[in-house]
Amino acid sequence: MKTAAQSVLPGQSRAHEVVLSVRALAVDIRTHRGTVRAVNDVNFEARAGETLALLGESGCGKSMTAKALAGIMDPVCDLAGGEVVLNGTDLAALTPKERLKFAGPELGIVFQDALTALNPVYTVGTQLGEAFRIHRGLGAKEAKVQAIELMERVGIPEPESRVNSYPHQFSGGMRQRILIAMAVALNPRLLIADEPTTALDVTVQAQIMQLLRKLREEGQMAVVLITHDLAVVAEEADSVAVMYAGNVVECGPVSEVFSDPRHPYTKGLLESVPVHVGRGARLLSIAGSPPELHDIPAGCVYQSRCPLVQDICRSERPQLLPVTDRPVNDRPVDDRPVDLQDDADDYAGALLSRPGRAAACHFSEEINNV
């Protein structure tokens, strides 16, 4: 009943190739108190067979980013700029019709709340077959056969008899499986999972994560996992982009970002988890709360809660820049990339290149002194 964590198969042709590239994405929301910028200058890449986590607290813009990628924003939201390049095509530049035709089969999305995401008046078979009817032109009968196959693929027992059931007749975990099945129906290259397990119990959460891993590896999908849970990121993702008040404040490979955070917010989040301290000991919390979207300050978005804040942070917004390398000798051996661990002597004093590591902080070098 246990399953070992599966490893990524090496040597697959499409593995690690960039599937999605988001550049300078910005989203505005029109409110009665004026237009606010909910997502500001967000950049990241998602690669085939890998999971990128968008990590942040509520209101940081992570779900808004997901909706902008999928082109399903609320009517009061506008794409204010940027590119969403999926397989070489900029989705942001397409008309809705072109987008449906192109992105429909290439991009799948899984929502948090399966009960509201599924239509209660249609059977799951009808809803699962929809993608095949619209994009593959199949008839109702053929679509149903495909739906049964899909249900089998995501581990729903007795799919032949359950294909005619309605969403409310399934348990929470099974509904989430159905939602995942809908998202992967046409073997998309990109799967966006917006808090896919938040509403589920831990034992079921583990099952769903296992399923997502399996599907990702089978189809070499790029997965964008949106979550607020640091532990889920640590266990499931390859790379992470930490968002705060609509901005990506830090990104990079998960193991590096979590072991050596270079933004005070990332460090504060990591320290808020009651895992490093003894029972009952004081947790290091981040004082205050995130800024309202209506009054995001000029300068750094994190200034009001930052222990390192200086004058420059109030006047000038830090750009997301590659983090400055530290000499190998300054870091413990275990912390170095694997290929450098064996022959550390040869590299003594060498500077490490940190692909993909970036942080938006004027003082990212001084983080460890916080």
The contact set with another protein (CB under 8 A) reads 1-5, 7, 57-58, 171-174, 201-207, 209-210, 228-232, 234-236, 254-255, 258-259, 268-275, 277, 279-280, 282-287, 289, 334
Task: In angstroms, give the least distance from the CB of 6 to another protein.
Answer: 9
Q: Which is nearer to another protein, 18 or 206 (CB)?
A: 206
Taking a C-beta distance cutoff of 8 angstroms, is the pair 328, 348 a contact? yes
Task: In angstroms, give the least distance from the CB of 214 to another protein.
Answer: 11
Give the HSE-up count for residue 58: Cα atoms under 13 Å, Cβ half-sphere.
Answer: 2
Contacts of 101 (CB under 8 A, 6+ apart): none
Taking a C-beta distance cutoff of 8 angstroms, is the pair 265, 233 a contact? no
Q: Which is nearer to another protein, 21 or 255 (CB)?
A: 255
Distance CA 314, CA 331 (A): 31
Taking a C-beta distance cutoff of 8 angstroms, is the pair 15, 190 a contact? no
Task: In angstroms, give the least distance from the CB of 130 to another protein.
Answer: 26
Question: Which conformational region is residue 10 in: left (phi greater than 0), alpha (psi within -120 to 50 degrees), or beta?
Answer: beta
Taking a C-beta distance cutoff of 8 angstroms, is the pair 182, 203 a contact? no
Q: Which is nearer to another protein, 275 or 312 (CB)?
A: 275
Q: Which is nearer to another protein, 62 or 144 (CB)?
A: 62
333-341: long-range pairs with CB below 8 Å, 24+:
335/259, 335/260
Task: In angstroms, give the least distance from the CB of 241 to another protein.
Answer: 16
Contacts of 42 (CB under 8 A, 6+ apart): 22, 24, 25, 26, 61, 65, 82, 241, 243, 246, 247, 248
Q: Which is nearer to another protein, 146 or 207 (CB)?
A: 207
Task: In angstroms, give the least distance from the CB of 119 to another protein.
Answer: 23
Q: Which is nearer to another protein, 119 or 171 (CB)?
A: 171
Residue length of the chain: 370
DSSP 3-state of 28: strand
Task: In angstroms, give the least distance from the CB of 228 to another protein.
Answer: 7
